[in-house]
Amino acid sequence: MRQLIILASAISLVACSGGGSGSGSGATGGSGTGIDIPEPEGNDDLVGLSSVASTEDALFQAIAVDDGYAYVCTGAHGMLIVDLSDITSIASAQQVTFADGNGCRSVGVATDGSILVTGQSQSEPGSWIELRSPGKNSQVQASLNIAQNVEYLAGTNSHVFAALGDDGLMVFGRNDGALASISSVIGFDTVLGVTVWDNSTILAAVGAEGVAVIDISDPTVPTVAATYGTKKNTARRIVVQNDIAYVAAVNTVQTFDLAAANPESTNELWLTYGSAVDLAITENGSLFVANLEDLAVLDATDPSNLRLSASEMIASTAGGNARVVGVSAIGEVAVAVEWSSVGTYQYLPDRTGPDVRVDRLSIDFGVASLKKGKGLVIENLGDEPLEITNVETDNPLFEPELSIIGSSDPTQATLPPCSDDPNACKGILQIKFLPEDSVTAVNGIVSVTTNDPDEGVVQIAVKANDLDGAGVGAPFDPNGEMVYTDSKTGNDVTIKGQHPGKVVLLAYFATW
């Protein structure tokens, strides 16, 4: 992102509510403070304003925003509180640590502004939950340890609702400063997210089963009122506004009109090009999506007709592949979490210009001894033609070549706006790897130069025969142990030897 020069004109922003609750990472509380923000120069419609990078290898994982502060889970390092009073110059306000070195996994905001935090317990199986006061000097108001693993929390001024994955959903009463379990909902394969719709109803993201509407008019006996399918896509997060439920369902974003006679018949689906893990809706109908590969903005002014209107590749400050894992909103400003940073991004829908997007910023050819090719999609999300003026590589073993309808030039082409021609606005960037052998690790950068006012040069990291892992078949010390960091919780997990001999450690990465 280039350095921004701030102009004199200003846009008034008010912290918006992510539905009736203000709970969850994709929502903000209803008590937001009005702020003024100067309009950045240039033509880009999604502009990075300010960011705070992680320190000491902290792994940013989840975010909730309310009343001028962002609360960011930083894994084993606890929770970072970020001051958002100046959205163009955000700053760390407080680093919160938890008892026993517990790591922070998920954070949300209850309807009364209380902060809800959870993570995996280090001292015993299961999870810990804390109810905290809001603000820079957030203090513990109540805490509880439970035997289950908590995926997500939402709450009202009287109750807390915990999504427990395979263990269903649990309801806790907030009684005289203490949390106590009063009921549960089971029968679903998994419960990954929860949000408050109104005083008597919550919505639960129940994985491949979709969205569950749960009556909590009597919290001691919660009742499943309805379930709406998400077409076998795994529902993970939900926000609700004006009776419209917005669902992050991994490779889709979906909507349901809950006020309709048959909400399932109103289901709208937008296919992501990444993996939708979190979302936030603004009062003006902009839907911010943490799409793992990037931050996306959908036009949701008509919830039955979702349209991709902008996106931003957020570079990792720690190197490696960027992963956008959480988002909230203040007015038309997204507050987004990438594994290595938290930042603010202003959406300016009235701006025009080309907007380049590639569907990934890295390609791994794996082990290859023969010529091998892979491709990625390049498209123009803007309002004006995208001129691709050059494609080049810094390593001749990787050969990039454009494959775009109407162009025979391998390094230059023009893509019209998708609003003009949804079929012609996309093309393929093919990259061939020409190995010298199957042993030597090879790395390179493929650069695509365009007239995008913000991302003039897009760089794609490419590699092959680059294996970075533990040895297989190494002797296992039965009296020793191996320790690794759980990427979801930030906690250290210890593997101890149970049987003599050798061990094979299999590692994988999944986009959830």
Among candidates 394, 397, 507, 407, which has minimal Cα distance to 457? Answer: 394
pLDDT in tens, 111-139: 999 999 999 988 888 999 999 999 999 99
Whether pLDDT at 96 is above 50: yes
Cα end-to-end span (Å), the chain: 27
Q: Which domains does the chain have, with CATH numbers?
A: 6-347 (2.130.10.10), 356-464 (2.60.40.10)
Residues 6 or more apart from 327 whose CB is under 8 A from it?
Answer: 25, 26, 63, 278, 279, 280, 288, 289, 290, 295, 334, 335, 336, 337
When pLDDT is averaged across residues 128-154 and rounded to a whole number, the result is 95
Determine contact, residues 214/206, Cβ cutoff 8 Å: no
Question: DSSP E strands: which ranges in 100-200?
Answer: 106-109, 115-120, 127-132, 140-146, 152-155, 159-163, 169-175, 178-185, 193-198
Among candidates 220, 151, 136, 133, which has minimal Cα distance to 190? Answer: 151
Higher local confidence (pLDDT), 175 or 173: 173
When pLDDT is averaged across residues 284-295 and rounded to a whole number, the result is 92
Radius of gyration of the chain (CA): 23
Task: Give residue 35's pLDDT.
Answer: 54
Residues 270, 305: Cα–Cα separation, whole Å: 9
Whether pLDDT at 238 is above 70: yes
When pLDDT is averaged across residues 340-347 and rounded to a whole number, the result is 93
Whether pLDDT at 484 is above 50: no
When pLDDT is averaged across residues 139-159 and rounded to a whole number, the result is 95
Cα 500 to Cα 476, 479, 483, 506: the distances in Å are 7, 9, 18, 18
Task: Give residue 1's pLDDT.
Answer: 33
Residues 288, 295: Cα–Cα separation, whole Å: 7
* Amino acid present at 99: A
Place of tokens 């419209």: 244
Its pTM stands at 0.78
Whether pLDDT at 22 is above 80: no
When pLDDT is averaged across residues 466-485 and rounded to a whole number, the result is 47
- Enter the tokens of residue 143: 């805490």
Task: Give residue 424's pLDDT.
Answer: 85
Residues 233, 239: Cα–Cα separation, whole Å: 17
Higher local confidence (pLDDT), 425 or 90: 90
pLDDT band at 320 (very low <50, low <70, confident <90, very high): low
Task: Give residue 468's pLDDT.
Answer: 56
Higher local confidence (pLDDT), 144 or 309: 144
pLDDT band at 267 (very low <50, low <70, confident <90, very high): very high
Which of 172-176, 183-187, 289-293, 474-478 is predicted with the least confidence, judged by mean pLDDT?
A: 474-478
